[in-house]
């Protein structure tokens, strides 16, 4: 199969970007979207054209690095997948596919489709993890955790930090990402001692880095590849309010 790929090209963070359209051929319908970009880059290199820069790592939907805006949707037209899990069979042969980087002031473009997502790392660093000394590994049944709480914590921990929530939100809010990180620990006994400090620090860092406010449009929930729900945002709000009142 063959496609026309309308892709964002930007030499560096300071350069003015623009769209370029390329024709790519010999693409199998079962090829992943990133494999299609690999094929396109190979064809561009053979023509003496600089290849398209895009980010990727595991290509298994685990790392969240393959963050692209495809045909107006974060990660493309399929549901609950990262870009590397998107397959070309979802596009009609001969179609024009528009590919853009994440659009957010907090995620500046580095080059072409690659954006700087260090803002998420800074939020995680501000929140920290569980620093209490736990000694040797404990037996699984030593600390009893209700099944429902454990499941909710795991659902929150499924967040891969791809940034689709930020790219999709009309306000560029990082609330779903922050909520997932806070919620995954707030639900567990090990996360209780530092819960107040964690909630205050992560929200403060999120605001400092220029992310927008949440207005509950639920766009983040709809486009999250791991289906993290806004229930966690409600939990983050409760944790944050408790932390402020405890000051």
Q: Give SS3 for 54.
A: coil
* pLDDT averaged over every residue in the chain: 93
pLDDT at 138 over 70: no
3-state secondary structure of 78: coil
Backbone dihedral angles phi then psi of residue 118, each to the nearest 5 degrees: -65, -20
- Residue 30's pLDDT is 95
Q: Give dist(CA 92, CA 244) in Å, integer.
A: 52
Residue 26: strand, helix, or coil: coil
Report, as an integer, the average pLDDT of 158-185: 96
How confident is the model at residue 199, as a pLDDT? 95
Q: Is residue 61's pLDDT more than 90?
A: yes
CA distances (Å), origin 102, targets 8, 70, 169, 180: 11, 10, 11, 20
Side-chain-side CA neighbours of 148 within 13 Å: the count stands at 0
Alpha carbon 169 to its chain's center: 12
pLDDT tens sequence across 2-49: 999 999 999 999 999 999 999 999 999 999 999 999 999 999 999 999
């Amino acid at each position: 199969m063959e496609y026309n790929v309308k892709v964002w090209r930007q030499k560096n963070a300071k350069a003015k970007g623009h769209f370029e359209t390329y024709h790519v051929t010999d693409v199998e319908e079962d090829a992943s979207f990133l494999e299609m970009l690999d094929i396109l880059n190979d064809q561009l290199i053979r023509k003496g054209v600089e290849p398209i820069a895009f980010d990727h790592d595991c290509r298994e939907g685990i790392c969240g690095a393959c963050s692209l805006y495809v045909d107006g949707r974060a990660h493309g037209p399929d549901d609950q997948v990262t870009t590397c899990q998107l397959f070309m069979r979802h596009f009609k042969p001969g179609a024009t596919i528009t590919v853009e980087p994440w659009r957010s002031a907090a995620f500046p473009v580095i080059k072409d489709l690659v954006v700087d997502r260090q803002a998420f790392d800074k939020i995680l660093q501000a929140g920290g993890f569980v620093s209490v000394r736990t000694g040797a590994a404990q037996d699984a049944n030593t600390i009893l955790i209700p099944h429902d709480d454990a499941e909710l914590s795991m659902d929150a921990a499924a967040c891969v930090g791809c940034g689709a929530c930020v790219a999709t939100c009309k306000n560029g809010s990082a609330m779903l990402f922050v909520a997932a990180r806070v919620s995954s620990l707030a639900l567990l006994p090990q996360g209780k001692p530092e819960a107040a400090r964690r909630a205050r620090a992560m929200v403060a860092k999120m605001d400092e880095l220029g992310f927008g406010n949440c207005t509950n449009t639920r766009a983040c929930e709809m486009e999250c590849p791991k289906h993290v729900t806004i229930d966690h945002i409600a939990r983050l709000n409760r944790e944050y309010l408790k932390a402020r009142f405890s000051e």
